[in-house]
Amino acid sequence: MSANIIDGKAFALGLRERIAAQVANFVAAAGRKPGLAVVLVGEDPASAVYVRSKGKATVAAGMASFEHRLPADVAQDELLALVDTLNADPAVDGILVQLPLPGHLDELAVTTRIDPDKDVDGFHPVNAGRLATGLEGFVPCTPLGCVMLLKDQLGDLTGLDAVVIGRSNIVGKPMAQLLLKESCTVTIAHSRTRDLSSVVKRADIVVAAVGRAEMVKGEWIKPGATVIDVGINRTATGLVGDVDFAGAASVAGAITPVPGGVGPMTIAVLLRNTLVSAGRREGVAIDEVAL
Ligand SMILES: NC(=O)C1=CN([C@@H]2O[C@H](COP(=O)(O)OP(=O)(O)OC[C@H]3O[C@@H](n4cnc5c(N)ncnc54)[C@H](OP(=O)(O)O)[C@@H]3O)[C@@H](O)[C@H]2O)C=CC1
Ligand SMILES: Nc1nc(=O)c2c([nH]1)NC[C@@H]1CN(c3ccc(C(=O)N[C@@H](CCC(=O)O)C(=O)O)cc3)C=[N+]21
Ligand SMILES: [Mg+2]
């Protein structure tokens, strides 16, 4: 058996085209562009690459991109003051503070300072609570992108056994919430899980969000299962995911590659959330079903 390779890059490009079409409608109705502000603290090269590609994708979709670069030793108060300014700026519909932040800065304090209605990352506790209780809000981009790929691949997810490996607030936990919303039977595994391979073996859907290169082995995968690899690990041989791709691809029904799988979806969903935010803030209808 050889798995279908899920082309997240192609899916993300299609999504970005559909977003761009609705951005044009928004501009005609509201008389301004949706705006995304991205804040980068320090000079971490990987973060700088992400921020640059987010800015390019934002402009390509017809939106306004506001980039703010602060020195690595910026004071917490100064960063919070910038967030306050962006919260108050009517041209800004979405605010993203690139994580991780340098160690002297309090990530929770910064995340919590962002207006929940401009929190296009979906990291604010208010948005986590909205997701958990079924209220409208913003859903973290990476898990939402994973669900889009899963539904495109499998259709209705009802009743499927899903295992999420990882329980972070930005990937694992919201991923589990979204799969629950799709009526999957959800198991969340983590570093204290006993016999991880047996837990994974019963899953129709495996989402790996661990941050350990090629940790999930092909022998753990149930034949025909769908495997979503969120991991981004830089190794001597290049970029690899959390799943042993060659091993898993020989038993899975479908699998996302790294690169070219989940990563491009994260950026496309960020643009989606920014457009949705702009529509809510201006009272302009966005056709979310068509996105
Ligand atoms: N493609 C994309 O767009 C994105 C990719 N990523 C990537 O996804 C990965 C996960 O990111 P993130 O959630 O932020 O990472 P975190 O480090 O915040 O969380 C990792 C999770 O994996 C669990 N874990 C660690 N070791 C093991 C193990 N041996 N067995 C089982 N579980 C384990 C941890 O468990 P415990 O809680 O017990 O410590 C934790 O819950 C990273 O590679 C990151 O780079 C992240 C965001 C976006
Ligand atoms: N506030 C905040 N929001 C985030 O969403 C956020 C963040 N901080 N910090 C870092 C993580 C990571 N992340 C990725 C985005 C795109 C790719 C991506 O496009 N990856 C390409 C490859 C890129 C490459 O070659 O390095 C791919 O997988 O094909 C990966 C990872 C967003 N994150
Ligand atoms: Mg983290």
**Does 221 appear as a known binding residue?**
no
Query: Looking at residue 139, what is its pLDDT?
Result: 98
Q: Is the pLDDT of residue 1 over 90?
A: no
pLDDT digits (tens, 9 = 90+) for 109-147: 999 999 999 999 999 999 999 999 999 999 999 999 999
Tell the residue nearest (CA) to atom 19 of ligand 1.
168
* In the chain, % of residues over pLDDT 90: 98
Cα atoms found within 13 Å of the Cα of residue 291, Cβ hemisphere only: 22
Dist. CA 29 → ligand 2 center (Å): 32
CATH topology of domain 31-116: Rossmann fold (3.40.50)
Return the bridge partners of 254, or none: 4, 226
* pLDDT, mean of residues 238-261: 98
> Tokens standing for 143?
């898990």
Tell the residue nearest (CA) to atom 15 of ligand 2.
263
Superfamily designation of domain 141-263 = NAD(P)-binding Rossmann-like Domain (3.40.50.720)
* pLDDT, mean of residues 259-263: 98
The ligand 1 site (C-beta within 6 Å) comprises 142, 165-168, 170-172, 189-193, 196, 209-212, 230-233, 262-263, 266
Which residues are catalytically annotated? 54, 98, 121
Dist. CA 28 → ligand 3 center (Å): 39
pLDDT digits (tens, 9 = 90+) for 220-236: 999 999 999 999 999 99
Question: From the CA of 167, which ligand is nearest?
Answer: 1
Average pLDDT of the chain is: 97
Hey, which bits of the chain come out as E strands?
A: 4-5, 35-41, 64-70, 94-97, 161-165, 185-189, 205-208, 226-229, 233-235, 238-240, 254-255
Predicted confidence band of residue 56 (pLDDT cuts 50, 70, 90)? very high
Q: Where in the chain do CATH 3.40.50.720 domains reside?
A: 141-263
Of 1-10, 67-76, 190-199, 222-231, the poorest mean pLDDT is in 1-10
Dist. CA 92 → ligand 2 center (Å): 22
Q: Where in the chain do CATH 3.40.50.10860 domains reside?
A: 31-116
